[in-house]
């Protein structure tokens, strides 16, 4: 079974998106990047992001990631904040530590694109 | 083969095929992202035909009622007629039945009801070309202040001196014609259970549709607590609303008036900050629903506050009004 199926597929994404987005908006390290955006649109993007890191079908390309985050002057600190919020969300939802590690690794795979390295 | 009509174009698609992929193969471009039934970028509106359950999984009641479906997880099992999601396009001719000043700069306008709607929804009004000086191509959105079972549509319109539409509407005579498009908006009563606690919050002319939501909740037999908070900058911004007394008298409704600046009759309202008031009233909004109407900055700020206080995004409904 794939990672995506093991953690519950689209239903798991649905359960995670509100919790994850709430954490991101409450995190002083990164909340300023989400101040001006429309909440519904942002939630849709978070869903697409979570689908990708949960190992689900997605059409994210490195170029998309690079373009979306260009000019934001993001650093390792910002990236860590997102990963921490992601891990906390998964813990709250009772996802097993082994799977959290797998998900964090998938999220880590886009780091160079997000940080424009 | 299955016959699929999309945006008035007929396609012969393979039985069991995926709607998004099959349309793309025909050269149709649809917005999409996850292609997994999650992000809802590829929503289409089904006008005719059975929608597979999977294609609506995770959508709101309102989206389902509109026939929206995610094309990326829609397997073709039978003939289908669909289109890019649209607002109701028809403009109905309606007539002004009543027009009077409610308080300060707010005018009440009653017109014939050309369509059915839910309390809290809005319509787009256009002047009729027969009206002298009509800004004919100007369409402006106003929420219905009437209840669905009343025989007319009622609007409360704040007249802005520089507003082309509001100043025009405020001087039209009885019997003048308007064009009405609607209904639109998803800020109407749709609690998941009769016991769910609700927050209803509005400023300015948002109070009328929010009161409509409260009235339809009570009419549906809602038993859970309803926190109703109405705000205005100054005392003059609070105006008499029809049906308010019945709503306030219901045992499960707590109604609050908040005014930012002190005025003459401060015993009928509280002076303070509406955001702080709501935070004290409902410190945790987990499991609650929120309905929010008013100026865009208010709606945006309060939605975020509700979400951070624990309300799910799917439980927050809103309409933002632009002065015009």
DSSP assignment of B274-315: HHHHHHHH-S--TT-EEEEEE-HHHHHHHHHHHHHTT--GGG
Q: pLDDT by residue (tens digit) across B140-194? A: 889 998 888 899 999 999 899 999 999 999 999 999 999 999 888 889 999 999 9
Measured between beta carbons, the chain B residues lying within 8 angstroms of A12 are none
DSSP-based three-state secondary structure for A89: helix
Indicate whether B89 pLDDT > 80: no
Measured between beta carbons, the chain B residues lying within 8 angstroms of A21 are 307, 313
Per-residue pLDDT band at B226 (split at 50, 70, 90):
very high
- What is the spatial distance between Cα A101 and Cα B15, in angstroms, rounded to a whole number? 41
A27 min Cα distance to partner chain B (Å): 11
Per-residue pLDDT band at A78 (split at 50, 70, 90):
very high
The CA radius of gyration of chain B, in Å to the nearest whole number, is 22
Residue with tokens 């059915």, as numbered in its chain: B116
Q: How many CB atoms lie within 10 A of CB B170?
A: 18
- What is the spatial distance between Cα B72 and Cα B22, in angstroms, rounded to a whole number? 10
A80 min Cα distance to partner chain B (Å): 21
Under DSSP, the state recorded for B42 is T
Question: Which one, of B22, B20, B2, B21, lies nearest residue B12 by Cα?
Answer: B2
Q: Is A87 on the interface with B (CB under 8 A)?
A: no
Nearest to B37 among A10, A17, A40 (CB): A10
Both tokens assigned to B154: 């009622």
The CA radius of gyration of chain A, in Å to the nearest whole number, is 13
Give, rounded to a whole angstrom, the gap between the first and last alpha carbons of chain A: 34
Whether the upstream peptide bond of residue B76 has omega within 30° of 0, thus cis, is no
Nearest to B33 among A26, A40, A59 (CB): A59
Contact assessment for residue B51 and residue B67, using Cβ atoms and an 8 Å cutoff: yes
Query: Where is average pLDDT lowest: A58-62, B245-249, B306-310?
Result: A58-62
Question: Which one, of B62, B289, B290, B303, lies nearest residue B186 by Cα?
Answer: B62
- What is the spatial distance between Cα B205 and Cα B238, in angstroms, rounded to a whole number? 9
- What is the spatial distance between Cα B100 and Cα B170, in angstroms, rounded to a whole number? 9
Contact assessment for residue B97 and residue B110, using Cβ atoms and an 8 Å cutoff: yes
Structure confidence at residue B96 (pLDDT) = 97
Dihedral sign, CA of B109, B113, B115, B121?
positive
Indicate whether B265 pLDDT > 70: no
Measured between beta carbons, the chain A residues lying within 8 angstroms of B41 are 44, 48
Nearest to B34 among A14, A43, A57 (CB): A57
Structure confidence at residue B135 (pLDDT) = 85
Closest-approach residue (CA) in chain A for B312: A18
The mean pLDDT of chain B is 90
Query: Where is average pLDDT lowest: B29-43, B107-121, B159-173?
Result: B29-43
A16 min Cα distance to partner chain B (Å): 11
ipTM for this prediction: 0.85
DSSP run (H or E) holding B158: strand B152-158
Q: Which residues 279-318 in chain B show a CB within 8 A of chain A?
A: 300, 303-304, 307-308, 310, 312-313
Indicate whether B11 pLDDT > 80: yes
Q: Is A70 on the interface with B (CB under 8 A)?
A: no
Closest-approach residue (CA) in chain B for A4: B36
Q: Is A43 on the interface with B (CB under 8 A)?
A: yes
Both tokens assigned to B43: 């929503």
Measured between beta carbons, the chain A residues lying within 8 angstroms of B33 are 44, 48, 58-59
Structure confidence at residue B324 (pLDDT) = 64
- What is the spatial distance between Cα B310 and Cα B227, in angstroms, rounded to a whole number? 16
- In this complex, do A18 and B58 lie within 8 Å of one another by their Cβ atoms? no
What is the mean predicted confidence (pLDDT) over B82-101?
89
What is the mean predicted confidence (pLDDT) over B264-293?
90
Structure confidence at residue B323 (pLDDT) = 66
DSSP-based three-state secondary structure for A19: helix
Per-residue pLDDT band at B243 (split at 50, 70, 90):
confident
The four Cα atoms A38, A86, A22, A55 give a dihedral, to 10 degrees, of: 50
Structure confidence at residue B236 (pLDDT) = 73
List, in sequence order, the alpha helices (H) in B113-179: 164-170
% residues pLDDT > 90 (chain B) = 63
Indicate whether B298 pLDDT > 90: yes
Structure confidence at residue A35 (pLDDT) = 79
Residue with tokens 């600046």, as numbered in its chain: B261
Enumerate the β-bridge partners of residue B68.
Answer: B45
- In this complex, do A26 and B35 lie within 8 Å of one another by their Cβ atoms? no
Nearest to A57 among B36, B300, B304 (CB): B36
Q: Is A37 on the interface with B (CB under 8 A)?
A: no
Q: Which residues 1-20 in chain A show a CB within 8 A of chain B?
A: 10, 13-14, 17-18
Both tokens assigned to B59: 């959508």
Give, rounded to a whole angstrom, the gap between the first and last alpha carbons of chain B: 51
| pTM (2 d.p.) | 0.79
Measured between beta carbons, the chain B residues lying within 8 angstroms of A34 are none
Q: Is B17 on the interface with A (CB under 8 A)?
A: no
Q: pLDDT by residue (tens digit) across B182-213? A: 888 889 999 999 999 999 999 988 998 999 99
Per-residue DSSP letters for B57-126?
Answer: TT--HHHHHTTEEEGGG-B--S-EEEES-------EEEEEEEEEEEETTEEEEEEE--S---TT-EEEEE
Structure confidence at residue B264 (pLDDT) = 67
The mean pLDDT of chain A is 89
Q: How many CB atoms lie within 10 A of CB B95?
A: 15
Phi, psi of B122 (to 5 degrees): -130, 165
Per-residue pLDDT band at B92 (split at 50, 70, 90):
very high
Q: Is A26 on the interface with B (CB under 8 A)?
A: yes
Both tokens assigned to B83: 């289109």
Question: Which one, of A22, A33, A16, A58, lies nearest residue A114 by Cα?
Answer: A33
Indicate whether B53 pLDDT > 80: yes
B307 min Cα distance to partner chain A (Å): 7
What is the mean predicted confidence (pLDDT) over B14-29?
92
């Amino acid at each position: 079974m794939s990672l995506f199926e093991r953690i519950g597929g689209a239903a798991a994404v649905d359960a995670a998106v509100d919790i994850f987005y709430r954490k991101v908006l409450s995190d002083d390290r990164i909340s300023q990047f989400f101040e001006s955006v429309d909440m519904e649109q942002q939630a849709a993007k978070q869903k697409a992001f979570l689908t990708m890191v949960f190992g689900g079908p997605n059409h994210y390309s490195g170029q998309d990631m690079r373009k979306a985050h260009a000019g934001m002057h993001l650093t390792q600190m910002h990236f860590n904040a997102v990963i921490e919020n992601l891990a906390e969300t998964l813990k709250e939802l009772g996802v097993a530590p082994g799977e959290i590690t797998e998900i964090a690794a998938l999220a880590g795979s886009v780091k160079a694109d997000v940080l424009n390295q | 083969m299955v016959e699929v009509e999309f945006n008035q174009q007929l396609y012969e698609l393979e039985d069991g095929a995926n709607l998004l992929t099959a349309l793309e193969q025909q050269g149709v471009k649809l917005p999409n992202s996850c292609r997994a039934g999650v992000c809802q970028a590829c929503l289409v509106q089904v006008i005719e035909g059975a929608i597979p359950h999977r294609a609506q999984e995770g959508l709101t009641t309102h989206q389902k009622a509109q026939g929206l479906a995610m094309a990326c997880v829609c397997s073709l099992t039978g003939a289908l007629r669909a289109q890019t999601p649209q607002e109701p396009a028809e403009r109905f001719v309606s007539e002004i039945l009543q027009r009077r000043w409610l308080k300060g700069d707010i005018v009440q306008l009653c017109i014939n009801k050309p369509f059915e709607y839910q309390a809290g929804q809005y319509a787009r009004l256009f002047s009729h070309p027969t009206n002298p000086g009509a800004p004919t191509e100007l369409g402006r959105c106003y929420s219905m202040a009437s209840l669905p079972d009343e025989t007319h549509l009622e609007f409360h319109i704040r007249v802005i001196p520089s507003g082309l539409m509001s100043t025009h509407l405020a001087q039209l005579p009885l019997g003048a014609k308007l064009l009405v498009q609607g209904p639109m908006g998803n800020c109407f009563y749709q609690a998941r259970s009769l016991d769910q606690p609700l927050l209803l919050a509005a400023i300015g002319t948002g109070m009328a549709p929010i009161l409509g939501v409260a009235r339809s909740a009570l009419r549906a037999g809602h038993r859970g607590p309803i926190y109703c908070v109405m705000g205005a900058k100054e005392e003059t911004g609070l105006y008499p609303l029809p049906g308010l007394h019945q709503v306030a008298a219901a045992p499960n409704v707590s109604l609050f008036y908040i005014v930012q600046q002190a005025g003459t009759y401060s015993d009928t309202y509280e002076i303070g900050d509406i955001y702080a008031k709501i935070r004290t009233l409902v410190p945790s909004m987990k499991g609650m629903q929120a309905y929010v109407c008013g100026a865009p900055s208010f709606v945006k700020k309060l939605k975020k506050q509700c979400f951070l206080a624990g309300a799910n995004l799917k439980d927050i409904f809103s309409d933002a009004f632009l002065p015009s």
